[in-house]
């Protein structure tokens, strides 16, 4: 406050008491305004974690997570494989192809755990403070946090990270976060405040702020690195692993930081147990499998049903060197599917999309190609209670009816059963579906010519599948043959992984395989998956969906104030998305099919929502030595 000199004359005339009273009045008014603001915000909550709906599982003084082995030994190496190539360790840019596990060295303010999936807990912070209004949150950061090179982590680094993402991050990220975070303030060396915009939905703003990683402002200044540029120099982080070495397109090795600042935190007890994590690169899964059999790497998550059903009878399995297991998976099914590029005019007509979808024969594929190991994906939230079923209930109708009244949805959605993938017969070409698909294309104006090919306005109806995995050849080629029988000029365009990445980023494809990794409490992230704003900015919205009804439903879900409202909103969104026919759903299984050399151990039972081999498994040196002596591994 400014101080003004007061003359003796003014003092004698009684001015001083008036000034003092004015100051007192101003102070009182300020105090009253502050009290009113505090009352509007509600009580200030101080906590070690945050859960949108319900209580936290773990109290502030928990000794360790329930699903870990707190006595797990540290040491050894685990190795896996990755397909294709890499030319960068910056996973935050669309340029280049980032190496596997390239963000393993980065930590965020908050973290999640595998048995309380709807909650976030302090990692880089000790506590958080926020009002009931959730207009802001203050994170009290841990003063002991250090970057891997030993430099301290400060509140100013979080402010820097936010501003860096707003300047150089992906457009879809900037749009989503910039609309919700108004500013970031540094309140002290280890105290940082996020202020949220008035329009930001309050349900997930705290978790939104908590995902920002620890980036060192001084490191960026010293190196001149940019978030939007590809680089083989990884961004400095605070995590327990850091890059040890790499051989471009062949191998990456990460090592555990012996001076990791958070090794003794209760949330880290029993975790990060391997000294090294090695990733071996191969051109395709077949080459990788042969290398696994020879002991070139030690853990394999098998994604090929053919290999799982027919190939795990090699000598290392027979000798007991390799363990082959099915581990339970309670996660939402990935929503893996072929998706149409709706940016292309020929796919704007839903009759065309429905016809093409009818020609994929899952039942024949599962029996003939997958050895009966899979189930058909039917929902974007399959394997969970968020999946839409049957006809809409009363709560769902309350959301659907206004959209129908405005002409945004067809009224059939109010009475019809939720859309399910069409079943097929036990032959590759299902003639009933062929007839139905043919009628749909005829209706849409794609007529069959003398050469048996379909044209409209002189243009051939063509469909090209973009794919980088040779393992998909045996799946897509029969689908292509079925489409050709329908009069469509279809083909598989298999490219290398880097080409696939580049073409997906530039939306240069007809159809591509996509996975929708959606959560149990979906919120603003839905805008990147399905929102109109992201159709030309996010590779999550690979299909280019832009639909006002979908946008409205996403807003409803984001604004949900309790779990019941959120669940109803998601089920309605699931119902509407499935009716849009922009996908041809593929397959899933509710178990992890894994094989590994018998020198790793894990706590039992495993948590339902994490396999955790890189997180809380550990290395048994005695078993490893026995394998080395037997010649099973190097």
Asked whether residue 171 is assigned to any structural domain, the reply reads: yes
Q: What is the mean predicted confidence (pLDDT) over 294-301?
A: 97
Is the pTM higher than 0.85? The answer reads no
Between CA 283 and CA 304 the distance in angstroms is 15
Asked whether residue 564 is assigned to any structural domain, the reply reads: yes
Same domain, 482 and 562: yes
Q: What is the mean predicted confidence (pLDDT) over 471-477?
A: 95
**Domain range enclosing 486:** 337-586
Q: What is the mean predicted confidence (pLDDT) over 474-491?
A: 98
Per-residue pLDDT, 530:
96
> pLDDT digits over 242-259, tens only?
999 999 999 999 999 999
Q: At what angle do helices 394-405 and 548-559 cross, to 10 degrees?
A: 140
Asked whether residue 236 is assigned to any structural domain, the reply reads: no
Between CA 376 and CA 363 the distance in angstroms is 8
> pLDDT digits over 566-624, tens only?
999 999 999 999 999 999 999 999 999 999 999 999 999 999 999 999 999 999 999 99
Same domain, 294 and 195: no
Counting Cβ atoms within 10 Å, is residue 35 exposed (0-12), middle (13-18) or buried (19+)? exposed
Asked whether residue 405 is assigned to any structural domain, the reply reads: yes
> pLDDT digits over 308-346, tens only?
999 999 999 999 999 999 999 999 998 999 999 999 999
Residue count (the chain): 634
Per-residue pLDDT, 40:
53
Q: What is the mean predicted confidence (pLDDT) over 347-362?
A: 98
Band of the pLDDT at 170, cuts 50, 70, 90? confident
From 195, 223, 251, the end of a domain falls on 223
Same domain, 521 and 617: no
Same domain, 400 and 500: yes
Band of the pLDDT at 15, cuts 50, 70, 90? very low
From 197, 223, 249, the end of a domain falls on 223
Given a cut of 60, whether residue 225 has pLDDT beyond it is yes
Q: What is the mean predicted confidence (pLDDT) over 542-553?
A: 97
Please say whether the beta carbons of 431 and 451 come within 8 A. Answer: no
Given a cut of 70, whether residue 490 has pLDDT beyond it is yes
> pLDDT digits over 178-194, tens only?
889 999 999 999 999 99
Given a cut of 80, whether residue 37 has pLDDT beyond it is no
Band of the pLDDT at 42, cuts 50, 70, 90? low
Given a cut of 70, whether residue 7 has pLDDT beyond it is no
Same domain, 365 and 442: yes
> pLDDT digits over 91-143, tens only?
998 888 999 999 999 999 999 999 998 899 999 999 999 999 999 999 999 99
Please say whether the beta carbons of 65 and 58 come within 8 A. Answer: yes
Q: What is the CATH classification number for the domain harbouring 455?
A: 3.10.105.10
Same domain, 123 and 203: yes
Between CA 65 and CA 114 the distance in angstroms is 9
Supply the DSSP symbol for 143.
T
* Strand runs labelled E in 334-412: 337-340, 375-376
Same domain, 455 and 579: yes
Same domain, 568 and 445: yes
Between CA 542 and CA 341 the distance in angstroms is 7
Given a cut of 90, whether residue 33 has pLDDT beyond it is no
Same domain, 129 and 117: yes
Q: What is the mean predicted confidence (pLDDT) over 525-529?
A: 90
Peptide bond into 605 cis (omega under 30): yes
From 223, 257, 272, the end of a domain falls on 223
Asked whether residue 39 is assigned to any structural domain, the reply reads: no
Count: domains in the chain: 3
Asked whether residue 517 is assigned to any structural domain, the reply reads: yes
Per-residue pLDDT, 535:
84
Same domain, 582 and 614: no
Supply the DSSP symbol for 383.
T
Asked whether residue 204 is assigned to any structural domain, the reply reads: yes
Question: How far, in Å, are 83, 100, 215, 263 from residue 258 at the CA level?
Answer: 30, 22, 20, 9
Per-residue pLDDT, 38:
46
Same domain, 442 and 559: yes
Q: What is the mean predicted confidence (pLDDT) over 399-405?
A: 98
Tokens of 116: 């309380």
Q: What is the mean predicted confidence (pLDDT) over 227-233?
A: 95
Asked whether residue 229 is assigned to any structural domain, the reply reads: no
Residue that wins the pLDDT comparison between 421 and 9: 421
How high does pLDDT run on average in the chain?
A: 91
Q: What is the CATH classification number for the domain harbouring 166?
A: 3.40.190.10
Task: Please list, in sequence order, all residues whose beta carbon lies within 8 angstroms of the beta carbon of residue 415, skipping any fewer than 6 positions away.
Answer: 391
Given a cut of 60, whether residue 453 has pLDDT beyond it is yes
Residue that wins the pLDDT comparison between 219 and 18: 219
Per-residue pLDDT, 274:
98
Highest mean pLDDT among 329-338, 459-468, 519-528: 459-468
Counting residues of the chain whose pLDDT is more than 90, the rounded percentage is 82
In a 13 Å sphere around the CA of 248, the CA atoms on its Cβ side amount to: 9
Q: Which of 18-32, 111-125, 279-293, 438-452 has the lowest mean pLDDT?
A: 18-32
Residue that wins the pLDDT comparison between 559 and 337: 337
Same domain, 111 and 139: yes
């Amino acid at each position: 406050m400014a101080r003004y000199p007061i003359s003796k004359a003014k003092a004698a005339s009684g001015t001083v008491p008036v000034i003092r009273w004015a100051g007192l009045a101003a102070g009182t008014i300020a105090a009253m305004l502050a009290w009113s603001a505090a009352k509007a915000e509600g009580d200030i909550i101080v906590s070690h974690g945050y859960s949108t709906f319900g209580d936290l599982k773990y109290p502030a003084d928990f000794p360790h997570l329930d699903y870990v082995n707190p006595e797990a030994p540290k040491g050894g190496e685990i190795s896996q494989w990755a397909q294709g190539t890499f030319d960068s360790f910056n996973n935050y840019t669309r340029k280049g192809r980032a190496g596997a596990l390239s963000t393993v060295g980065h930590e965020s303010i908050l973290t999640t755990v595998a048995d309380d999936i709807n909650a976030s807990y302090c990692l880089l912070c000790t506590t958080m403070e926020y009002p009931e209004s959730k207009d802001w949150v203050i994170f009290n950061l841990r003063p002991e946090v250090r970057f891997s090179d030993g430099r301290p982590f400060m509140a100013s680094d979080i402010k820097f990270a936010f501003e860096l993402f707003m300047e150089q991050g992906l457009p879809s990220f900037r749009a989503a976060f910039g609309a919700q975070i108004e500013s970031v303030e540094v309140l002290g060396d280890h105290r940082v405040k996020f202020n949220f915009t008035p329009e930001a939905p309050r349900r997930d703003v705290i978790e939104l702020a908590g995902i920002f990683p620890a980036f060192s402002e001084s490191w960026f200044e010293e190196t001149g690195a940019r978030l939007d540029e590809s680089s083989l120099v990884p961004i400095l982080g605070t995590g327990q692993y850091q890059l040890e070495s790499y051989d471009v397109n062949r191998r990456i090795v990460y090592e555990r930081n012996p001076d990791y600042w958070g090794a003794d935190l209760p949330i880290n007890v029993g975790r990060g147990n391997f000294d090294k994590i090695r990733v071996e690169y191969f051109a395709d899964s077949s080459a990788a499998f042969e290398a696994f059999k020879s002991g070139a790497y030690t853990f394999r998550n098998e994604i090929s049903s053919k290999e799982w059903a027919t190939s795990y009878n090699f000598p290392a399995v027979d000798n007991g060197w390799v363990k082959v297991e099915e581990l339970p998976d309670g996660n939402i099914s990935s929503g893996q599917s072929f998706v149409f590029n709706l940016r292309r005019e020929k796919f704007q007509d839903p009759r065309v999309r429905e016809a093409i979808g009818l020609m994929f024969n899952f039942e024949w594929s599962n029996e003939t190609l997958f050895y009966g190991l899979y189930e058909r994906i039917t929902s974007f939230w399959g394997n969970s209670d968020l999946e839409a079923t049957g006809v809409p209930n009363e709560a769902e109708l309350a959301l659907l009816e206004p959209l129908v009244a405005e002409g945004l949805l067809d009224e059939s959605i109010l009475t019809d059963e939720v859309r399910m993938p069409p079943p097929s017969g036990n032959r590759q070409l299902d003639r009933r579906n062929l007839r139905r698909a043919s009628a749909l294309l005829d209706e849409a104006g794609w007529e069959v010519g003398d050469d048996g090919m379909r044209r409209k306005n002189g243009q051939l109806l063509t469909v090209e599948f973009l794919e980088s995995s040779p393992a998909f050849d045996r799946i897509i080629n029969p689908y292509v043959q079925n489409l050709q029988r329908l009069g469509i000029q279809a083909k598989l365009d298999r490219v290398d992984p880097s080409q696939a990445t580049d073409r997906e980023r530039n939306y240069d494809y007809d159809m591509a395989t996509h996975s929708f990794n959606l959560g149990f409490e979906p919120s603003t992230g839905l805008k990147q998956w399905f929102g109109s704003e992201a159709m030309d900015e996010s590779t999550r919205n690979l299909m280019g969906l832009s639909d006002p009804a979908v946008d409205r439903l996403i807003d409803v879900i984001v604004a949900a104030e309790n779990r019941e409202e959120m669940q109803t909103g998601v089920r309605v969104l699931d119902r509407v998305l499935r009716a849009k026919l922009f996908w041809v759903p593929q397959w899933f299984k509710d178990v992890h099919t894994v094989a590994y050399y018998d020198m790793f151990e894990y706590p039992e039972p495993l948590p339902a929502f994490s396999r955790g081999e890189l997180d809380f498994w550990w290395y048994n040196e005695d078993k490893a030595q026995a394998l080395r002596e037997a010649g099973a591994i190097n």
